[in-house]
Amino acid sequence: MEGSNEKRPRQPVLAVVGPTATGKTALGVRLALALGGEIISADSMQVYKGLDVGTAKVTPEEARGVPHHCVDILPPEAPFSVADFTALAGQRIGEIAARGRLPVLVGGTGLYVQSLLYGVRFAREKAPEGLRARLAAELEARGPAAMYAQLQAVDPEAAAAIHPNNHVRVLRALEHYQATGCRLSSQKADSLPAERPYRALVLGLDFADRADLYRRIDVRVDRMMEQGLEEEARLVYQHRQSYSTAAQAIGYKELFPYFAGEAALEDCVEKLKQASRRYAKRQLTWFRHMDGVTWLQADDPHLADRAESLAAAFLKEG
């Protein structure tokens, strides 16, 4: 029958990505208000209840009435992996679309954003509990180069076939090896669909001058300290065995030497600023290697208008 082979149009998704302290939250809210959207947080730590300051969780004032999903949904003891995120976020996208609203993905955890938008399928193999979360945390803490070197050591053939900047596939190969004891190169990976599941516009925020980004990060850390980061980090320190994911997160672990009586608070805060700047650099590297990102200057006085125009044109195309 005519038209029976026509493909259904893919669900449009808007994404606002980039390193920490670039104003993703504010821009995401502005776009959601303008375009009838609801926000899905793509942040590996904002899922946890009670960890608000260190994760820069959106406040009710900042949210301006826009619904936020994947925020405050788990106790800090619970594991949460990229596979969990893609399943949950995919479900939320369907629900938001069914309400006639626009899903707006906002966050800086590149592994989450890329896996969701690329449609990565995570095999339900006999992976030890917490393995995915541990690998994702290790990637965040050590950086992609160290993880790629680890893959080269255990599965050189798979490493040779994977670009060092393809973090999703590097982690997938390491996960497979650690879960099964077998090299992924000996089993054809089938983790990406022929077509991506969503039609996405990805807006990336950055500064023309890297020094401006680093200054923003330093100011943000000082503000977090004023807002009670020390008390929140102390809570994580006291529960570091059970809050295993939070205990590895930038924003908390840098203050641990102070709680242990091994360093002065001001030295730990300086270490936190340094770690945050390094993390921002890794975030930028990740998103720069994602295809199709439209980059905008975070300090452009007309940023919101430009982003809104791009998003409106994108939605019209569909």
Closest CA to 57 of 246, 238, 191, 297: 246
pLDDT at 127: 64
SS3 for 44?
Answer: coil
pLDDT at 294: 98
pLDDT at 189: 46
Block mean pLDDT (10 aa), the chain, length 318: 62 97 97 98 95 96 98 94 92 97 96 91 67 84 88 83 75 82 61 87 97 97 98 97 89 97 98 96 91 96 98 92
pLDDT at 126: 59
pLDDT at 1: 43
C-alpha 289/C-alpha 82 separation (Å) is 19
Cα–Cα distances in angstroms (integers) from residue 265 to residues 224, 251, 255, 269, 278, in the given order: 14, 13, 7, 6, 20
Q: How many CB atoms lie within 10 A of CB 20?
A: 20
Q: How many CB atoms lie within 10 A of CB 46?
A: 21
Q: What is the pTM of this model?
A: 0.81
The position carrying tokens 């590097």 is 170
Strands 102-106 and 68-69: unpaired
Answer for the pair 82, 137: CB distance below 8 angstroms, yes or no.
no
- The DSSP call for residue 313 is H
Domains along the chain with CATH numbers: 11-121+192-210+284-317 (3.40.50.300)
pLDDT at 125: 55
Closest CA to 55 of 264, 245, 290, 296: 245
The token pair that represents 282 in the structure block: 């890794």
